[in-house]
Chains A and B, each alone.
Chain A
Amino acid sequence: VNPDLASERQTASFSVEKLTAWLDGGAERTGLRRAVVEAIERDPVFSRENQYFQSQNERYEAAVRKAVHLQKKMHEMGWTDNGPELKYIYRALAGDVAFLLHRVFMRSISMLGSDKQVAKWIPLATRYQLIGSYAQTELGHGTYLQGLETTAVFDVTTQEFILNTPKISAMKWWPGDMGRSATHTVVFAQLYIEGKCYGVHPFIVQIRSLQDHSLCPGITAGDIGPKMNFEHIDNGFLMLQNVRVPRENMLNKFCEVQPDGTYVRSGSQKINYFTMTSVRIALISDEVIAPLMKACTIAIRYSVVRRQSKLEPGEQEAKILDYQTQQEKLLPQLAAAYAFHFINDYLEELFNKGYGEIQRKNFDTLPELHAFSSGFKAMVTQYSTSAVEICLRACGGHGYSSLSGLPSLYTKILASCIYEGENTILLLQTARFLIKSFAAASTGQPVPPSVTYLAAMKPGKCPAKSKSDFLSPDIYTEAYQHMAARLISSTAAKLQDLVQSGVKKHHAWNQCAVQLAQAAKAHCHYITVKNFAETVEKLKTQAGIQKIMKHLCDLFALHGIFSNAGVFLHDGYLSGAQMDMVTTSYLDLLPVIRKDAVPLVDAFDFTDQNLNSALGSYDGQVYQRLYEWAQKSPTNKMSPAYERYLKPLLHNKLSHL
């Protein structure tokens, strides 16, 4: 181990192993996780060693190979699709595997299909006798589902639906696993019966032959070309020309077209939203928080190995993490990684509870859950994306090398800002819920627990008198609460003013949209701070960990105030003098957390294979590894350019003027 990294570990103020166990939810789970990760990493088929050197075709092939091998492996190890190991398997594979959409295909059939449909399709899919995908997004239409243009017309004479892509913007575009792999897909299309449109419905459509994998008649499909990341996934396009599917292929748990063309709706449509809602929460942990933790691990370990300039004349060049500016870049991101880990725990718990309620046909919590999932998905993905980018840039030139692992973490997490609902639109959905709740609260009606603070809103000033007061969770949580409530109430007031002055409702909404999005973000930020403080509070039994977690919580909260000073100062809740105290307290925390920075990222417990970074490995042998890996680059194997172009150029006589 590089001595620069070893010395960081000797001064840890807490036990890394204990913190890891606590993050995992118990030492047993840590054990299970490590066993799963080890089993995967020891298997050469799952190796990601040459990933950075592979072409899109090679990446795709490797992902398919891994997906196929994974079935075998799971069978061998006795892991099941709904066992506790599953999430650790995905952690170990770092998402680098095909057929993720096959799972969504299965999930949508289970959720939206009748018992008969489930009985027919699920066994086939489980045995991989068909490979599924999920075709919702179109070239011209994304988050706004009602705008989809694909049509499915019911033909009563043959008892079939006729599916069509009426124009180019209606082509299905982006679905994963669809470009090359899938044989079937769930197509979302506008249902027409006798000329009347009944809105968007899901249909199972076969797109490729089960014999030779060629495209079925009427189907045009292929890969959509290179993207910023996800080279291993064959995101695809799909065009349908008079493709006929039997009546039974419309997923009909909630709506059915009867043989005579009568349309029957049964059950609540709200449950459909719950699928989206739960996916949004599920992705936060694997697709967002894990990459953020990895980026922090890489950047912080590298920052104690890299030395640059001198802090004291005559001394050795200093570790870059000893510079205040470097600490101020990285440590708030580390605090955010912890904050989001805890808010994710909180959301998962909330959802499990909510799911239970919904099973009992009680839909009361649905609006709140929906608002939660939209707002937090947007806030966490946006925050984490910029955090990963900060980590990338904090590693200077070497961060820009693919071998650092940071560019691919970044381009991957970036996609999370868009898929499963574009962030701005999601924030506006949360805002809608907040404005409604605010109206209810101000007329004394009951509101969901997370927004009761809107009823208790009162003008006032922050009571803090010294910089140490700002290390009190009550003080800063209160400040966040006040700020969120103020933004929501002032936007609500403005909306009302506009409407009263005769502006149409939807116009008024658009004119306030920027502030609405800001208010929604503020609300989520407040809940995150509050939850972090409460999590620390509950740690009483583990004093060693509690102390450092308290520091991180303070840092997360004060960083937010420091970087958004205006909204706290605006109505005089904080005074200029108090803002100076915040700044001092905030900057004073940096060197304190600095001492535990490496142990804090060690606790995330990523293996070197999993990080796949020349800069971030546990032993800190950064430069040796970088040199070794670079030599493996295929660009070093051949240089056709020399013989073909450089040689004639070097010997070019024409240029002798």
Chain B
Amino acid sequence: EALVINDPDFQHEDLNFLSRSQRYEQAIRKSSLMVMKLREYGIADPEEIYWFKSFVHRGRPEPLDLHLGMFLPTLLTQATPEQQDRFFMPAWNLEIIGTYAQTEMGHGTHLRGLETTATYDPATQEFILNSPTVTSIKWWPGGLGKTSNHAIVLAQLYTQGQCKGLHAFIVPIRQLGTHEPLPGITVGDIGPKFGYDEMDNGYLKMDNFRIPRENMLMKYAQVEPDGTYVKPVSDKLTYGTMVFIRSLIVGDSARSLSRACTIAIRYSAVRHQSELKPGEPEPQILDYQTQQYKLFPLLATAYAFHFVGAYIKDTYRRISGDINEGDLSELPELHALTAGLKAFTSWTANAGIEECRMACGGHGYSRCTDIYVTFTPSCTYEGENTVMMLQTARFLFKSYTQVSSGQRVTGMVSYLNDLPRQRIQPQHVAARTVTVRINDPVSLVEAYKARAARLVEDAAKNLQAELNHWKSKEDAWNRTSVDLVRASEAHCHYVIVKLFTAKLSEVSNAAVRAVLTDLCLLYALYGISKNTGDFLQAGILTNAQITQVNQRVKELLAIIRPNAVALVDSFDFHDVHLGSVLGRYDGNVYENMFEWAKKSPLNKTEVHESFHKHLKPMQAKL
């Protein structure tokens, strides 16, 4: 951290005052410097690179993200040794800067729908790449617009007159040396977005653009010189990169939400407003119950997601070890888990960040920080969230079907094993109601488990009913999809409460455990109070218990209040990283806000030029 923050080369004007072109330029400047400095300091550990990078760019995206995060790793996992010799070192040395061009203007999450074609021509031993329609133009890849000179392009492979599905090709797009686009290539920036100002998300159109046969990534599938196609061993393996990125997004949800909470909670301790008691000074807004009710559940959520992020990273490491040894048995659950948790955490964090911002009133609207716009696309990229939830649902439904046919399931879904038993003894469910103890996290995990089991079962039964009613499986699925998404959400919610609770026993320091237990209770109880319908309808909790839950939530707010600032301080974000005037560690908000505003470009001259251009002539005329 100190290495970056104290380096004068990385200083620049506040990004909020710069235009997009300038922000892009600053980002490129810093990325270039960063690469040179990393090499100079000899930093090579991925974890260290990650921290270095996040301090250089202060948590913002940068144009080389795709080169470092997608282009290089894809070369490593999907290129043959011969291809690695040709491309990897030049790419490592940044003579080649690459990006990963998958998404098209008309096609996103549904990969099989991509339209770009790569047709093999045995006469010249080349692939001919084409963007046959407007909808097939590659659209969105980061770093594609202005920065990259190569791209890994995903295209439908045609050879010997047959379509062989999606494959990856290394395509040079700009002339080395001049950086001009190559003939047959149209490439550019897609224009302004909600956020990501420093990133040149780009478009790419190819017209009969030829590349040698050796530029297809052929570690798994191959096209031989005569055009014969050799199939890969398992086509599921190529999805590995996506699963990995999705698991990272879970951690990112936790971090982004933590940053927003830090800003909102610190500011709420600084801002004073109205009167609580007549005649007394205006209290800190954090003393208002409504403000606590907005922020503390989010703080608890940030902690919960933090633990989930750590868990999923570990699980990914463990399972990918198994996969390398040829054991694919846990892949379906891993896939279902990352898809669902990616959607659940990014949705919640997205709404939570927004809530934090709104809790800062008018000043939250000032451009002091743009966590929201940087974070919100994660609901879409790497798999649109609704589609993700439905993938989790598919796994849940499959597990449920296995259980109904007498098989047992393992892992996070093992609770489904209890369902058939409950059906035989309906009083079992009724007996459960009285046993929920609202002050015991372990007991609340059981409540969430029961809710998930019920919603999965309901969705599965509804789906079964639709299947009997409609001939088409797809129609039935679509007509049940709202239920299925709810079931997935309940499943993820259960997993999170369970992981949070499990974490408590690992904490050795008693004071820390006490405060984390309060947060865990708040997370679980708040979730119940927001979804009372589910718990009441399933008979898991009684009306009286719901009233107790609501009451307990409010008590917890008051209990957490004294620790609130300390809890966000523990996230340990540096002021530079927070990039927020409102969230400063020292709380000197107003002074710094004034200093910040004075630097605005509109204030460069005391009399703005439009006075002479427009106002003055008008005043003279009227």
Inside 8 A of A649's CB, which chain B residues have their CB?
Answer: 32, 35-36, 94
Inside 8 A of A53's CB, which chain B residues have their CB?
Answer: 191-192
A656: Cβ under 8 A from any B Cβ: yes
- Closest chain A residue, CB of each to CB of B390: A325
Which of B223-231, B244-252, B354-362, B566-574 forms contacts with chain A?
A: B354-362
Which of A126-134, A185-193, A247-255, A333-341 forms contacts with chain B?
A: A126-134
Q: How far is the CA of A222 from the CA of B282 in the complex (A)?
A: 28
- In the assembled complex, the CB of B574 is this many whole angstroms from the nearest CB of chain A, namely 22
Q: Which of B192, B271, B481, B529 is the one whose CB lies under 8 Å from A403? A: B192
Q: How far is the CA of A515 from the CA of B529 in the complex (A)?
A: 12
Is the beta-carbon distance between A180 and B602 smaller than 8 angstroms? Answer: yes
Is the beta-carbon distance between B179 and A647 smaller than 8 angstroms? Answer: yes
B 22-39 to A, binary, CB cutoff 8 A, 1 in contact else 0? 001100110010011001
A 389-423 to B, binary, CB cutoff 8 A, 1 in contact else 0? 10011001111111100010010001101110010
Inside 8 A of A630's CB, which chain B residues have their CB?
Answer: 188-191, 203
Inside 8 A of B36's CB, which chain A residues have their CB?
Answer: 649, 652, 654-655
Which of B153-161, B314-322, B328-336, B470-478 forms contacts with chain A?
A: B470-478
For residues 69 through 111 of chain A, which have their beta carbon under 8 Å from a beta carbon of chain B? Answer: 71
Q: How far is the CA of A566 from the CA of B533 in the complex (A)?
A: 4
Known: A397-B103, A504-B277, A636-B188. A587 touches B482 (CB 8 A): yes
Q: How far is the CA of A629 from the CA of B192 in the complex (A)?
A: 10
B 4-38 to A, binary, CB cutoff 8 A, 1 in contact else 0? 00000000000011011100110011001001100
Q: How far is the CA of A424 from the CA of B293 in the complex (A)?
A: 11
Q: How far is the CA of A446 from the CA of B171 in the complex (A)?
A: 79
Q: How far is the CA of A402 from the CA of B192 in the complex (A)?
A: 5
Q: How far is the CA of A648 from the CA of B31 in the complex (A)?
A: 12
Is the beta-carbon distance between A57 and B601 smaller than 8 angstroms? Answer: yes
Is the beta-carbon distance between A222 and B603 smaller than 8 angstroms? Answer: yes
A174: Cβ under 8 A from any B Cβ: yes
Is the beta-carbon distance between B597 and A55 smaller than 8 angstroms? Answer: no
Is the beta-carbon distance between B110 and A317 smaller than 8 angstroms? Answer: yes
Besides A222-B600, A309-B113, A636-B189, 5 other A-B contacts (C-beta < 8 A): A324-B480, A402-B191, A587-B479, A632-B191, A635-B189
- Closest chain A residue, CB of each to CB of B103: A397
A444: Cβ under 8 A from any B Cβ: no
B431: Cβ under 8 A from any A Cβ: no
Inside 8 A of A571's CB, which chain B residues have their CB?
Answer: 543
**How many residues belonging to A are interface residues under a CB distance threshold of 8 Å?**
136
A612: Cβ under 8 A from any B Cβ: no
A206: Cβ under 8 A from any B Cβ: no
6 contacts between A and B (CB under 8 A): A128-B619, A307-B106, A389-B354, A414-B358, A650-B97, A655-B93
B394: Cβ under 8 A from any A Cβ: no
Is the beta-carbon distance between A225 and B17 smaller than 8 angstroms? Answer: yes
A40: Cβ under 8 A from any B Cβ: no
Q: Which of A169, A223, A403, A566 is the one whose CB lies under 8 Å from B602? A: A223
Inside 8 A of A517's CB, which chain B residues have their CB?
Answer: 290
Known: A61-B610, A222-B597. A633 touches B29 (CB 8 A): no
Is the beta-carbon distance between B354 and A646 smaller than 8 angstroms? Answer: no
Q: How far is the CA of A214 from the CA of B194 in the complex (A)?
A: 36
B-to-A contact residues, CB < 8 Å: 16-17, 19-21, 24-25, 28-29, 32, 35-36, 39-40, 93-95, 97, 103, 105-110, 113, 134-135, 137, 139-140, 145-147, 149, 176, 179, 188-195, 200, 203, 271-278, 282, 287-291, 293-294, 354, 358, 361-362, 364-367, 373, 376-377, 379-381, 384, 386-387, 390, 472, 474-475, 478-482, 485, 529, 531-539, 543, 546, 550, 554, 590-591, 593-594, 596-603, 606-611, 613-619, 622
Q: Which of A127, A514, A654 is the one whose CB lies under 8 Å from B554? A: A514
Is the beta-carbon distance between A313 and B290 smaller than 8 angstroms? Answer: no
- In the assembled complex, the CB of B292 is this many whole angstroms from the nearest CB of chain A, namely 9
Inside 8 A of B290's CB, which chain A residues have their CB?
Answer: 424, 428, 513-514, 517
Known: A137-B362, A147-B273, A324-B479. A168 touches B619 (CB 8 A): no
Known: A226-B17, A650-B97, A655-B36. A64 touches B610 (CB 8 A): yes
A161: Cβ under 8 A from any B Cβ: no
Inside 8 A of A567's CB, which chain B residues have their CB?
Answer: 532
The majority secondary structure among interface residues of chain B is helix
A361: Cβ under 8 A from any B Cβ: no
A242: Cβ under 8 A from any B Cβ: no
- Closest chain B residue, CB of each to CB of A647: B179
Is the beta-carbon distance between A140 and B590 smaller than 8 angstroms? Answer: yes
Q: How far is the CA of A97 from the CA of B191 in the complex (A)?
A: 23
Q: Which of B32, B361, B543, B619 is the one whose CB lies under 8 Å from A646? A: B32
Inside 8 A of A626's CB, which chain B residues have their CB?
Answer: 105, 139, 190
Is the beta-carbon distance between B21 and A212 smaller than 8 angstroms? Answer: no
Inside 8 A of A234's CB, which chain B residues have their CB?
Answer: 602, 608
Q: How far is the CA of A173 from the CA of B158 in the complex (A)?
A: 63
Which of A8-16, A25-33, A637-645 forms contacts with chain B?
A: A637-645
Q: Which of A139, A322, A325, A393 is the one whose CB lies under 8 Å from B376? A: A393
Q: How far is the CA of A392 from the CA of B598 in the complex (A)?
A: 33
For residues 290 through 338 of chain A, which have their beta carbon under 8 Å from a beta carbon of chain B? Answer: 306-313, 317, 322-326, 328-329
Is the beta-carbon distance between A65 and B610 smaller than 8 angstroms? Answer: yes
A 603-641 to B, binary, CB cutoff 8 A, 1 in contact else 0? 000000000000000000001101101111111101111
Inside 8 A of B282's CB, which chain A residues have their CB?
Answer: 144, 147
Inside 8 A of A507's CB, which chain B residues have their CB?
Answer: 276-277
Inside 8 A of B105's CB, which chain A residues have their CB?
Answer: 398, 623, 626-627
Q: How far is the CA of A571 from the CA of B543 in the complex (A)?
A: 7
Q: Which 6 A-B pairs have the closest CB atoms?
A: A565-B533, A566-B532, A407-B194, A223-B602, A226-B367, A633-B191
Is the beta-carbon distance between A180 and B608 smaller than 8 angstroms? Answer: yes
A599: Cβ under 8 A from any B Cβ: no
Known: A633-B191, A640-B25, A646-B147. A306 touches B94 (CB 8 A): no
- In the assembled complex, the CB of A458 is this many whole angstroms from the nearest CB of chain B, namely 18
Is the beta-carbon distance between B533 and A564 smaller than 8 angstroms? Answer: yes
Known: A179-B602, A223-B600, A654-B39. A308 touches B533 (CB 8 A): no
Inside 8 A of B482's CB, which chain A residues have their CB?
Answer: 324-325, 328, 587
A461: Cβ under 8 A from any B Cβ: no
Is the beta-carbon distance between B485 and A147 smaller than 8 angstroms? Answer: no
Q: Which of B108, B145, B622 is the one whose CB lies under 8 Å from A128? A: B622
Q: Which of B134, B194, B288, B614 is the one whose CB lies under 8 Å from A623? A: B134
Is the beta-carbon distance between B607 and A212 smaller than 8 angstroms? Answer: yes
Is the beta-carbon distance between A641 and B146 smaller than 8 angstroms? Answer: yes
Inside 8 A of A634's CB, which chain B residues have their CB?
Answer: 20-21
- Closest chain A residue, CB of each to CB of B608: A180
Known: A140-B271, A506-B276. A648 touches B106 (CB 8 A): no
Is the beta-carbon distance between A655 and B94 smaller than 8 angstroms? Answer: yes
- Closest chain A residue, CB of each to CB of B39: A655
- Closest chain A residue, CB of each to CB of B192: A402
Inside 8 A of A576's CB, which chain B residues have their CB?
Answer: 536-539
Q: Which of B387, B593, B602 is the one whose CB lies under 8 Å from A60? A: B602
Known: A147-B273, A624-B134. A415 touches B532 (CB 8 A): no
Q: Which of A147, A306, A569, A639 is the one whose CB lies under 8 Å from B532? A: A569
Inside 8 A of A71's CB, which chain B residues have their CB?
Answer: 618, 622
Is the beta-carbon distance between A237 and B594 smaller than 8 angstroms? Answer: yes
- In the assembled complex, the CB of B295 is this many whole angstroms from the nearest CB of chain A, namely 12
Q: How far is the CA of A328 from the CA of B485 in the complex (A)?
A: 11
- Closest chain A residue, CB of each to CB of B27: A641
Is the beta-carbon distance between A142 and B362 smaller than 8 angstroms? Answer: yes
- In the assembled complex, the CB of A581 is this many whole angstroms from the nearest CB of chain B, namely 12
Q: How far is the CA of A179 from the CA of B139 in the complex (A)?
A: 39
Q: How far is the CA of A410 from the CA of B135 in the complex (A)?
A: 26
- In the assembled complex, the CB of B177 is this many whole angstroms from the nearest CB of chain A, namely 8
For residues 523 through 546 of chain A, which have their beta carbon under 8 Å from a beta carbon of chain B? Answer: none
A353: Cβ under 8 A from any B Cβ: no
- In the assembled complex, the CB of A185 is this many whole angstroms from the nearest CB of chain B, namely 15
Q: Which of B25, B147, B190, B614 is the one whose CB lies under 8 Å from A401? A: B190
A265: Cβ under 8 A from any B Cβ: no
- Closest chain B residue, CB of each to CB of A640: B25
